[in-house]
């Protein structure tokens, strides 16, 4: 049984040197740290999102906006459109706010956790990750993968979320002063590829001999029973004219803020929608789509306009968007589902 923090860190770093994932935002083990902009951008994108889903978005963003100054100068609508499909859209709004704050200070990110936390949208995890990976600062970096590794390594039996203080203290106890960024990424890689949520590959784990929870690894981390998500209902409205559909821009704050979308009846995380259709006339049912948000489930009905759509339709800011170029509008996934349903139903007319 490995008993010292130094032994655990050294063993894990040795494993990482030979097995590190090759990712576009990383530097190879032992090499100089990567550009802080790329580290920060990747960490924001990776929040509650898989590496596989993030990689094409990261490539597109860094090709289009190769520096934090370029991103800071970007149009809000363009960034929101480029983010479409990645989900958790508040991240995109925070991304712009942070980029502009960094640009205002000359384009350089601060290099300590405390200073990074002062930037818009940087929580404890992202600040720690950027400090460790981009600047080599000793920081305790805990994402979902690291949380699982530490809970098993120390057999922390308290259920989440209450166990997080103990998990952080345990992670702190094994975090080395040197190669902090590599250590953080090694823990992430161990959780992603070896110490997985289901069927962990304990026989291949470099820390198996030190793991107190190995004999019942899948028990950890202990999770409190899930609460059922509330069910919400709403309606989206499809208004078409001359091969174009009416799209609106959602308010900056709130669900899917700042995104292009179909007009709807005002549904929210707190309740069902009850708003009136955006135009008088005949409407017909166009089907229903289901979508899962973090805190609720939404059943969104689609209502198709059967009247003669005029140029005056749409009391809110909006635009007529060609249906055959709808994939360029940057619609959130929910409205992509609704639009596909509407387009599929056009053949019934």
- Residues serving a catalytic function are 43
Beta bridge pairs of residue 223? 160
- Going by C-beta distance under 8 Å and a sequence separation of 6 or more, which residues neighbour residue 207? 2, 8, 11, 12, 149, 153, 190
User: To which H or E segment does residue 244 belong?
Assistant: strand 244-249
Using alpha carbons, list the distances in angstroms from residue 292 to 79, 87, 231, 233, 267. Answer: 23, 11, 9, 12, 14
Burial grade of 288 (CB within 10 A; 0-12, 13-18, 19 or more): middle
Q: Is 8 exposed, middle or buried (0-12, 13-18, 19+ CB in 10 A)?
A: buried
Q: Tell me the C-alpha distance between 237 and 177, whole Å.
A: 56
Q: What is the CA radius of gyration of the chain?
A: 24
3-state secondary structure of 101: helix
Question: Which among 14, 101, 307 has a CA at the least distance from the CA of 116?
Answer: 101
3-state SS assignment for residue 311? coil
Angle between helices 76-83 and 90-104 (to 10 degrees): 130
- In contact, 261 and 335? CB cutoff 8 Å: yes
Conformation bin of residue 64: beta by default, left when phi > 0, alpha when psi is -120 to 50: alpha
Nearest to 230 by CA among 289, 294, 275: 294
Question: Hey, what are 125's tokens?
Answer: 């995890």
């Amino acid at each position: 049984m490995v008993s010292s923090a130094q032994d655990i860190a050294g063993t894990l770093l040795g494993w990482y040197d030979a097995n590190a994932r090759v990712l576009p935002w990383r530097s190879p083990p032992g090499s100089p740290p990567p550009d802080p902009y790329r580290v920060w951008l990747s960490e924001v994108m990776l929040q509650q999102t898989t590496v596989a889903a993030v990689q094409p978005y990261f490539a597109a963003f860094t090709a289009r906006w190769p520096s934090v100054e370029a991103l800071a100068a970007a149009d809000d609508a363009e960034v929101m459109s480029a983010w479409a499909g990645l989900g958790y859209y508040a991240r995109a709004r925070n991304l712009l706010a942070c980029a502009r704050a960094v640009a205002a200070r000359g384009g350089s990110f601060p290099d300590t956790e405390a200073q990074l936390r002062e930037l818009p949208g940087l929580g404890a995890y992202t600040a720690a990750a950027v400090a460790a990976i981009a600047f080599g600062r000793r920081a305790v970096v805990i994402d979902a993968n690291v949380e699982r590794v530490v809970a098993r390594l120390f057999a922390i039996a308290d259920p989440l979320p209450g166990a997080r203080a103990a998990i952080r203290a345990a992670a702190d106890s094994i975090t080395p002063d040197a190669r902090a960024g590599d250590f953080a990424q090694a823990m992430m890689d161990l959780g992603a590829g070896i110490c997985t949520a289901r069927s962990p590959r304990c026989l291949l784990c470099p820390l198996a001999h030190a793991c107190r929870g190995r004999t019942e690894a899948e028990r950890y981390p202990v999770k409190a029973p899930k609460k059922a998500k509330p069910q919400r209902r709403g309606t989206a409205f499809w208004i078409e004219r001359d091969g174009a559909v009416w799209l609106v821009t959602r308010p900056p704050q709130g669900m899917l803020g700042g995104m292009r979308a179909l007009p709807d009846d005002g549904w929210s995380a707190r309740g069902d929608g009850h708003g009136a259709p955006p135009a008088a006339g005949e409407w017909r049912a166009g089907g229903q789509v289901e979508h899962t948000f973090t805190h609720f489930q939404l059943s969104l009905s689609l209502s198709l306009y059967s009247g003669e759509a005029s140029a005056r339709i749409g009391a809110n800011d909006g635009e007529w968007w060609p249906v055959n170029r709808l994939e360029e509008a940057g619609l959130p996934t929910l409205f992509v589902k609704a639009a596909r349903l509407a387009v599929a139903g056009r053949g019934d007319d």
